[in-house]
């Protein structure tokens, strides 16, 4: 197993175990941003939305590792179809 595949498996595992917590945190931040915006606290609402963007960015990077591992494994299989 290559380093790319190993990193992909680790990333996939982390995505799975943190999915529920990330979704809850994301929802909480969006709800808080809405409430803050209603009260005219634009800067604080913007900070909450930046937290949402950050958590989505982390998940996108982790998904990128998973995708790279899938592509690496597929290319390895094409190069060596009998293995």
Q: What pTM, to 2 d.p., does this model score? A: 0.76
Task: Indicate the pLDDT class of residue 83, thresholds 50, 70 and 90.
Answer: low
Examine the pLDDT at 4 and tell me if it is beyond 80. Answer: yes
Task: Please answer whether residues 63 and 11 qualify as being in contact, where contact means their C-beta atoms are separated by less than 8 angstroms.
Answer: yes
Condensed to tens digits (0 to 9), the pLDDT of residues 6-53 reads: 889 999 999 999 999 999 999 999 999 999 999 999 999 999 999 999
């Amino acid at each position: 197993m290559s380093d790319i595949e190993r990193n992909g498996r680790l990333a996939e595992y982390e995505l799975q175990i943190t999915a529920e917590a990330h979704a809850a945190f994301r929802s909480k931040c969006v709800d808080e941003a809405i409430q803050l915006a209603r009260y005219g606290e634009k800067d604080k609402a913007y900070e909450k939305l930046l937290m949402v963007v950050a958590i989505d960015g982390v998940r996108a990077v982790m998904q990128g590792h998973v995708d790279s591992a899938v592509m690496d494994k597929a290319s390895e299989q094409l190069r060596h179809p009998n293995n």
